[in-house]
Structure formats: structure tokens, C-alpha cells
Amino acid sequence: MAKARLHDDAMVQLLRENPEFAQNYLHQAFIDMDEEGG
């Protein structure tokens, strides 16, 4: 579980530090939710 937490922390930091990446990342996540199995 510790490794997952470190990954979560790294992702939060990455998203906060790079707004353009965050926008693209979240946009793709919402697209993937609408796909079968997403």
C-alpha cells in the first residue's frame, strides 16, 4: 500500500505543477470512463 500512496502523492504533485498536463490527463480520464470497461 505504501507504494500506491507514493504514486498518488507523485501524481498530485505532477498535476499541481503542470496545469496543461493536468487538463489533458483529466480530459482523457473522462473520455476513458465513457468507454466500455472504463
Q: What is the DSSP letter of 36?
A: T
User: What are 1-38's pLDDT values in tens digits?
Assistant: 677 789 999 999 999 999 999 999 999 999 999 877 75
Q: Can you tell me the distance from the alpha carbon of 6 to that of 15, in angstroms, rounded to the nearest whole number? A: 14
Torsion region of 37: left, alpha or beta (phi above 0 gives left; psi -120 to 50 gives alpha):
left
Q: What is the DSSP letter of 18?
A: -
Sorted by sequence, the CB contacts under 8 Å of residue 21 that are 6+ apart come out as 14, 15
Q: Are 32 and 38 in contact, with CB atoms under 8 Å apart?
A: yes
pTM above 0.85, yes or no: no
